[in-house]
Structures are given as C-alpha cells and as structure tokens.
Structure 1
C-alpha cells in the first residue's frame, strides 16, 4: 500500500479531523470525502500553525469570568494593498484636525471658566467688604 493510500484511509481517524467533526453535525460530517478532509486539514493547519517571533497567551480571571489576551509578533505574511498601510489618509487627516480643534476649543472654554470664577470671586469679595463696612457703620 502506498503512502498516499495509507494517508487517505487514515484521514477520518486523524485527531485533527475528529476535533473538526465535533463542531459539525454528524450528517454533514459523513458527507466529506477523504480528499476534502485532507485538503481541509492542510489549509487550516497552514493558517493556524504559523510561527511567530513572540507568542504570549495569558488567561486573566476577572470577577466570575475569564478573559484571554494574546500578543503575537511576527513577519507579515499576508499581502495587502499599499493603501491599507497608509496612516495619512484623507479620513485620518480630517479626524486629526477635528480632534485638534475640539481640544483647543475645550481648553479655551476651561480657561474662560477659570477666569470667570476668579473674577466672580474678586467681585464677591468686594461686595462682602462693602456689606461689612455698612454693617459696622450702622453699629
């Protein structure tokens, strides 16, 4: 028996295929051919089992649930258009200018509020002194 025939006969007994079948209804899983299963395994294994220079996986308990954080760093293997890598697009420029203007307007308003508060405080101090003088003069 050749290696190829042996592989085709043992595909349905492969642990990867068994795990894949746990997420597929049995009637659908029964319809896969050995060739389809072999190709599915090849494609999914190539997609999942990539080498990364940094592969840090943490599971963090929070309240009564667990969350996970994954940090993967490695060479980019997916070819993309150069436009997808551009940071200075028209949309980003508009968002940056709008954020900058909103920050400036907020700072100006904050300074005006502080200025008015100090002016009102001085005005109140002056009125209190005038009332104190009136009170002392009447006594």
Structure 2
C-alpha cells in the first residue's frame, strides 16, 4: 500500500500527548502513532455498529466463592454460540485465571462479558476485541 504524506497542525499539549502515546506504545515515530490511533478509532466505530469481531474475556476470580465455577459454566453454556474455547489456570488454591476465546457480534460479546463481570467473586475481568473477517 502506498503512503501519502500530508501536514497536520496540532496544539502543543496535543502534540505532547501524541509523543507520549508513541513512547508508551513503543512506536518508531508520530506517523505510526497517528496510524494506530486512526485504526483504533475505525475499529471502535465498527465495534459500535455491531459487526462480527473476535476477542477474549480474561478473568481472575476465587472459584470457591458463591459457587462461582458453576455460575460461570451456566453463563458459558448460555452463550455457547459465541464461545470458541476457554482455558482455566490455577494461580493458587484460592485464585483462578481464565481466558475465554469468543467470536460474534460485538454487542453480544459485550453482553456476555458484562454478565460474567457482574458475578460476585470475579476480582478482575476484561474484554478485548479485534476485527474478524
């Protein structure tokens, strides 16, 4: 793909924020930073349009609290049409780490993640999505 050059004028504080973004994301230059921000924006716009996306839900929780493992299993069964796989790891006797691979309409994946994160005993939960062909 060919690259087109164009000029951009920014206020100093916005330029400083861009430079911080480039540094924090270990990018080579401002152009890469602007490209990344545009791609993120466009993906988020598609995500809000309820396109099909792929992603993961990562969880840290105590499986012994409130029959949490059974509740998680029931929710995953309810959403089996969008769950590709799940992997469970024991971090300690009282802490589990789980990764749930998902693919489907972004609204449904968000709904699934919200249901899971709302369970009492989930310490941390995060949904990450990316475009899917």
- When the two structures are superposed, what TM-score results if normalisation uses the length of structure 2? 0.30
| Larger RCO (CA within 8 A; separation ≥ 6) | 2
**TM-score normalized by the length of structure 1:** 0.29
Instruction: Compare CA radii of gyration and give the structure with the larger one.
Output: 1
Hey, which of these two has a bigger chunk of strand by percent? 2
